[in-house]
Amino acid sequence: MEQVLAPDGERILLGAIDCAYKEFRGELAAGYAIGSLAHGGFAPLVSDIDVVLVLADCTAAARGRVAGVNAAVQRSFDGPLAQRVSIFWSDWAGIRQGAAAGCRLPAIDRLDLLESGRLLYGEDRRVGATLPQRDELICESAEFALGKIDAAYRAELGDPAGLIAAGPRAVTKTTLFPVRFLYTLGTGRIGRNEDAIDWYRGAAEPLVRAAGRWRHDGVDPAAEALLTEQLTGLYLEFAQTYRGALEELGRDDLAQRLEELRRTL
- The count of domains in the chain is 2
CATH of the domain at 108: 3.30.460.10
**pLDDT tens-digit series, residues 35-66:** 999 998 899 999 999 999 999 999 989 999 99
**246 shares its domain with 179:** yes
- On whether both 70 and 175 belong to a single domain, the answer is no
When pLDDT is cut at 50, 70 and 90, the band that residue 6 belongs to is low
**For residues 221-242, average pLDDT:** 98
Higher pLDDT, 67 or 4: 67
Query: At 200, is the pLDDT very low, low, confident or very high (cuts 50, 70, 90)?
Result: very high
In a domain, 2, yes or no: no
Residues 28 and 82 in one domain: yes
Q: Supply φ then ψ for residue 150, to 5 degrees.
A: -90, -170
Confidence of residue 1 (pLDDT cuts 50, 70, 90): very low
Q: Give mean pLDDT, residues 171-187.
A: 97
172 has pLDDT over 50: yes
Of the candidates 122, 152, 176, which is a domain's last residue?
122
Residue range(s) defining the domain that contains residue 114: 7-122
Share the mean pLDDT of the chain. 95
Please check the confidence at residue 249 and state whether its pLDDT lies above 60: yes
190 shares a domain with 111: no
| Same domain (yes/no): 109, 227 | no
Predicted confidence (pLDDT) at residue 3 exceeds the cutoff of 60: no
Residues 68 and 113 in one domain: yes
Residues 104, 12 share a domain: yes
Q: Are residues 73 and 139 in the same domain?
A: no
How high is the pLDDT of residue 99?
A: 80
User: Do 41 and 83 fall into the same domain?
Assistant: yes
- Tell whether 146 and 255 lie within a shared domain: yes
